[in-house]
Structures are given as structure tokens and as C-alpha cells.
């Protein structure tokens, strides 16, 4: 799942003009009719879709200040309670791994 996530995060990175890498590559595809290799990535691991969904939802509510803050265990716990979504310790560890990859991608 981390490979899939890192590929997605890299495609979502925006340049100075505010345009994502994905948008640039899709424009190339539209103009040439050829899918750039960088658009193709690892397959989505269906067996852990609940973890990916949890991460995406938590990411939308992420706190930030001068920079983007890592997701805290308190935020994850509050999200679980509010949404009535159970995650076990292994799931939470996976969300934290995704968060580390996300922060690495956006901080360059």
C-alpha cells in the first residue's frame, strides 16, 4: 500500500504555478494520445481500502501551522470515535506509515 500511496502523493505534488504533476501528465496524454509512464503506478491494494479511506479522511482534517503537521494518535482516536470507525493497532500503524510517506512527499 505504501508504494501505491507514494505514487499517488508524487502525482498530487503541485509546482509553483499550482498545477499538479498529474495534471501536467494528463495534458501530455491529451495532446499526444500516449499515456506517460509516470501516470502508471502500482495497483490499488483492495484488501486495505479501509486504511486508505481512513487516511484520506484524516488527511482532510489535518492541522497545520507554519508547515503540515503529522497526524497525532489523539486525532486518529477522535476521528474513530466521531465516525464510529474501528481501526485496530495494525491499521493505525499503517495510517501512520502513510502519513510519514505523505509528509515526505509534500516536504520534498
Please write the tens of the pLDDT for every residue from 8-46. Answer: 999 998 888 999 999 999 999 999 999 999 999 999 999
According to the model, what pLDDT value does residue 108 have? 67
The closest of 53, 52, 96 to 74, measured between CA atoms, is 96
According to the model, what pLDDT value does residue 89 have? 98
* 71 exposure class (CB count in 10 Å sphere: 0-12, 13-18, 19+): buried
- State pLDDT tens for residues 52-101: 999 999 999 887 777 888 999 999 999 999 999 999 999 999 999 999 99
Task: Say if residues 102 and 96 touch (Cβ distance below 8 Å).
Answer: no
Whole-structure pTM value: 0.85
d(Cα 56, Cα 44) in Å, to the nearest integer? Answer: 14
Contacting residues for 72 by C-beta, under 8 A, at least 6 apart: none
d(Cα 95, Cα 87) in Å, to the nearest integer? Answer: 10
Amino acid at each position: 500500500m505504501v508504494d501505491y500511496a507514494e505514487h499517488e502523493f508524487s502525482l498530487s505534488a503541485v509546482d509553483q504555478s499550482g498545477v499538479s504533476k498529474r495534471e501536467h501528465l494528463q495534458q501530455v496524454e491529451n495532446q499526444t494520445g500516449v499515456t506517460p509512464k509516470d501516470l502508471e503506478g502500482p495497483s490499488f491494494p483492495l484488501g486495505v481500502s479501509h486504511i486508505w479511506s481512513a487516511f484520506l479522511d484524516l488527511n482532510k482534517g489535518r492541522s497545520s501551522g507554519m508547515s503540515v503537521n503529522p497526524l497525532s494518535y489523539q486525532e486518529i482516536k477522535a476521528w474513530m470515535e466521531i465516525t464510529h470507525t474501528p481501526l485496530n493497532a495494525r491499521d493505525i500503524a499503517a495510517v501512520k506509515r502513510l502519513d510519514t510517506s505523505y509528509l515526505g512527499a509534500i516536504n520534498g
